[in-house]
Amino acid sequence: MTDQNLTGNLAAALTPTGLGSRPSSSTGPAAAPTDGPARVVIDLDLPGPTISRHIYGHFAEHLGRCIYGGFYVGEDSPIPNTRGIRNDVVEALRALRIPNLRWPGGCFADDYHWKDGIGPREDRPRMVNSHWGDIVEDNSFGTHEFMDLVELLGTEAYVNGNVGSGTVAEMSEWIEYLTRADDSPMASLRRQNGREEPWQVPFFGIGNEPWGCGGTMRAEDYAALARQYATYVRDHADNRVTRIAAGASDDDYEWTEALMRAAKNLEHPGGEAGPYQAISMHYYTMYGPWQDKGSATEFTEEEWYRTLSRAARAEELVARHATVMDHFDPHKKIGLVVDEWGTWWNVEPGTNPGFLYQQNTVRDALVAAIHFDGFHRHADRLLMANIAQTVNVLQAMVLTDPDSGALVLTPTYHVFAMNAGHKDARALAAHVLLPEEVQEVDGRLLPMVSASASLRPEDSTALVSLSNLSADAPRTLVLDLRGREVLGHEATVLTGASTAAHNTPEQPDAVAPAPLTDVRAHARGLELRLPPHSVATVSLQLGN
């Protein structure tokens, strides 16, 4: 088959019919049958590709109370802050060691003109945030404030440029303003605005959702623009940019094919891909249709399982987009970035429908755990992922009360914390074997156990992540650990009184990590008992 007749045929080959209606281990979580006890088999001496720490990335858009009232309260706020940035939010996220933060959008990015957000705040022009609540944005949080936040967090910047309503020159000048050190026009303008030294910006997005809010473009039209705009996002001084082309929604494999076809220098292992080095995709987990996505806190057992099945679909989509990329890029020069993922529920009653504020329950924690297990299995292609979003929007890490100012850590926050040991570790295959027949939910097989593992050879440690997807049944599970001696272990579990349990200012620890004490030695390694609807991690100290 030649490239000239791939369009349509390659995308068709990636439909569920083309790849088979039953998912394999490469398209979603899988379990093999066994006559013995339920177990997870891990070969501790067979490390795979490195799991990029950037898979644990975050997203902050000018949307609802994510920036204003979330990250930023202003210097005159009674809430303790540093140059207007909330101290408690920074402290919570520094504890997670978040690897990167994407900003200013999202849909907002393609309405945002960066020069409106620099200089004295009283002189900055206002704009209409037409996508999120149709409110007036005063641009008091702009480039300098964001980069200040990045430095306070100790993280890396993922800046998303404006293709939909911006210009090539505007994008080119922004990266110059951010990263150039000499007396160029934009570097001089930055100094006039109070910043002498340039910043490091390792990631730059070439627009957002151009198939929708970013311009309602066709794939081939955007691919041409992506080549043009990315060319002008230049590397200044020692700053090296990974340029990320805005990719597909869900299963639009033809969009990925168009971007891969437009990329350059993919045929040979040496040299860098151009003009962009990564492409993105977006996928959200929800129970109902867009018009009625379901409640964050009130759901049936059927909705529980269907939600987890739809979360598992994320890995299927990653695998199939990666298959398209493999055809054009066998040397894996271009990374895949899932820079918007997470649950999307109806907003909490009484809140602005354009602000996307939702609660965060044990169900959201399981969704996050399933995503990470899948992401780990595709570490060879997956460069980055960004949960949507970090504060007060969709599947947030932290929620801030608009009245009291109190901060709450969500169950999803705790999943990120428990999985931190996977960052930059080597992926290990984790084979799930279950004695029962795997359930079919929402058209796909859903094992009631999800698992992944990783190894740090430098300090002889491994981390195993396990989830019991059953809404009401505990699970006894054997960790069948092979290839290395296990000298010690430490286990942690996250669950709640119900599948809908969540944290509030009044009950901030209703869902919080606790030691998993029901762990014992087993002839194959370890045996443990997981509560229903729970996420667990087991840290292993290994011998030679």
- Residues 322 and 305: their CA atoms lie apart, in Å, by 26
Whether residue 440 lies in the annotated active site = no
Helix and strand numbers (H, E) in the chain are 11, 28
Q: How far is residue 184's CA from residue 177's CA, in Å, rounded to a whole number?
A: 9
d(CA 405, CA 485): 49
From the candidates 145, 209, 254, 316, give the one annotated as an active-site residue. 209
Q: How far, CA to CA in Å, does 426 sit from each of 318, 461, 463, 543?
A: 19, 11, 10, 17
Question: One of 145, 254, 316, 340 is an active-site residue; which one?
Answer: 340
209 phi and psi angles, rounded to 5 deg? 40, 55
Active site residue 209: yes
- CB neighbours of 335 closer than 8 A, spacing ≥ 6? 242, 277, 278, 279, 381, 382, 383, 384
Alpha-carbon span 296 to 285, nearest angstrom: 12
- Nearest CA to 56 out of 379, 450, 431 is that of 379
Sign of torsion over alpha carbons 113, 118, 120, 121? positive
- Angle of helix 143-153 relative to helix 87-96, nearest 10 degrees, comes to 50
Angle at 90 between CA 96 and CA 103, to 5 degrees: 90
Burial 433-444 (b: 16+ CB within 10 A, else e): bbeeebeebeeb
DSSP β-ladder status, 57-59 and 382-387 = parallel
- Three-class SS of 373-427: HHHHHCCCCEEEEEECCCECCCCCCEEECCCCCCEEECHHHHHHHHCHHHCCCEE
**Catalytic residue positions?**
209, 340
